[in-house]
Each structure stands twice: as C-alpha cells, then as structure tokens.
Amino acid sequence: MIAGIELGGTKTVVAIGTAAGDVQEEWRFPTTAPEETFSRAIDWLNERGTPEAIGIAAFGPLGVVPGRASYGKLLATPKPGWAGFSITDTLATAFPQARLTIETDVNAAALAEARLGAAQGLDDVAYITIGTGIGAGILSGGHLVHGALHPETGHFKVPRKPGDDFPGVCPFHGDCLEGLASGPSIAARWGKDAAELPADHPAWETEAWYLAHGVLALLGIVSPSRVIIGGGVSQAEGFHEKTERILNQIAAGYFSPIEAKPYIVPPMLGQQAGIKGALLLAAV
C-alpha cells in the first residue's frame, strides 16, 4: 500500500493511492496539535492496511536533506507546538517497515505539476505560490532543489516598480518580493483583499511587475522550462498573461526558454497537487 500525507497549516490530507499519483481514497481533516494530527492520520491508514511507502508534503521550515539531524523535523515554525516535532520519527514508530520520503509542500506540488499537471514531462520547473506568503518549489534536471535549508523564494529583493513607494509588509525585509507582492501586501497597499479587486484594477499591473522580476531571477539562476504560478492571489483573470508580457519586456529577447509560449501558466491540479505530490514522493 502506497500512502501520502499532506500536512498544511490548517488542514491535513491523508490518502492511499498509487505511486503514479492516483488517489484511491483520501481524508481531509483540520490540522491540530502534532501528536493528535498524526495519530488521526496513522489510525486512518492502519484501518486500510500497512503502507510500504509514505510520501509526506509538509509546511516548513522543514528538514528535507536526508542524512542531516534535521531531516523530517519541523524547524523554527511559529505554529504552536510544532517546532522540533519529528514527522519521520512519528511515522517510523507507527510503520517501522515503511519507506518515508518528506518534502516541502511547494516542492511536492512542483513535482505533481511536472509529472501530471501544467508542466507535464518537463524536468526543469518552478512552481510559485502567492498567498499569505510567496514560496516556490523547484525541480531542476528532475531533482527537487533543497539547498542548505530549502529555498525561501519570497525573500530576495527585486527592483521597485517606478513610482511605487509602498514600504512592504515583510517583518524581516520590508520590501522583499513577499513584502511587496504577497496577499497581505495587496490588502495593506490597496485596502482590499486581492479577491475583491477587479481584473482591471492597477493592483494587478503592480503585482505582475514584481512577479515578472521574480521569474527573471529564476530564469537567471535555474532556467526553468516553464513557470507555474498558483495560490489564491494568482487567480485574477489575465494575471498570468500580464506577468508573461512584463517578463518578455524585461528579458529583452535574452532567455530562450521563455520562447515556449505560454511560459507562465496556472497550475492544473488545484487542491490535489499536494497529495498527488506526496504519493509521487512515495515512489521515489
């Protein structure tokens, strides 16, 4: 039996399925304390059989590099009770024979979209999500990028849109990409949530400017074949096209990958990306 667990900040999904990412049965429930959350997932799995492999997609910061002491643990998260909790130890105790693979939620979603969704068949893919924060999962040459910790793609700096003097909302950096373009920054900048702003509101030109500069940095550093932008804030009509138009202007013909059109696309797997990614991880 192949199992997947998607641990989100507010909801958890546990599923059984195939190593090809097909969900056979799943259960969604609210994320509560770590012991309770995993005890519920473990009980649900036990009722269905004995998993030989479990893929886990979890919120972070998270130890994802095998062989390090931090592997499988939640790190310095502000979420009460979770910092230091070992997901892999908990699951290994319950299922000592199961092969465990753990990744960040964004990397799992990137993998799922690259295997089954909006970037099917591509080995170099970036999946950006814009919501409360900005994060990215990156598949490079078929390998998920971890680095020394894992990427924190929202926290580098891009040039200001001319005339924009909004200070940004990131408590660490003020005007990093996340500080200038996350959901909370839109709400603070325009006095309304992103979902309430019509597609022709100038907010979207500003948002697309910052995302295009973030994608340009991705192009310069990991050269993805396609970039997926998802998350609540990305759902305004025409947002992907607007971002791609600005990207083409600032790239100035230099980067051949963006000649594949469309280059910036929405995700295809929606709410299923995380759990499908978890099942795919179990197969690795």
Q: Exactly one of 4, 60, 151, 183 binds its own copies (CB under 8 A); which one?
A: 151
Q: What are phi and psi of 107, to 5 degrees?
A: -65, -40
The yes or no reply on residue 8 touching its own copies (CB under 8 A) is no
What CA–CA distance (Å, rounded) separates 240 from 233? 11
User: Rounded to whole angstroms, what are the CA distances from 281 to 134, 217, 219?
Assistant: 23, 27, 26
Q: List beta partners, residue 138.
A: 126
Minimum distance, C-beta of residue 50 to its own copies, in the bound complex (Å) = 31
Number of residues that bind its own copies (CB under 8 A): 44
Minimum distance, C-beta of residue 22 to its own copies, in the bound complex (Å) = 28
Smaller CB separation from its own copies, 83 or 217:
217
The stretch among 15-23, 36-44, 110-118, 250-258 that binds its own copies (CB under 8 A) is 250-258
- Look up residue 276 and give its two tokens: 């499908």
The yes or no reply on residue 252 touching its own copies (CB under 8 A) is yes
Residue 247, Cβ density class (10 Å: 0-12 exposed, 13-18 middle, ≥19 buried): buried
Measured in residues, the chain has a length of: 284
Minimum distance, C-beta of residue 151 to its own copies, in the bound complex (Å) = 5
Q: Report which DSSP code applies to 86.
A: B
The stretch among 98-106, 188-196, 202-210, 218-226 that binds its own copies (CB under 8 A) is 218-226
- Look up residue 164 and give its two tokens: 């924009």
- Look up residue 227 and give its two tokens: 């970039």
Minimum distance, C-beta of residue 36 to its own copies, in the bound complex (Å) = 29
Q: List beta partners, residue 23.
A: 17
The yes or no reply on residue 244 touching its own copies (CB under 8 A) is no
Minimum distance, C-beta of residue 254 to its own copies, in the bound complex (Å) = 5
What CA–CA distance (Å, rounded) separates 270 from 230? 8
What CA–CA distance (Å, rounded) separates 31 from 9? 7
The yes or no reply on residue 225 touching its own copies (CB under 8 A) is yes
The yes or no reply on residue 27 touching its own copies (CB under 8 A) is no
Which residues make up the interface to its own copies (CB under 8 A)?
A: 65, 124, 136, 138, 140-141, 143, 145-160, 172-173, 177, 213, 216-225, 250, 252-257
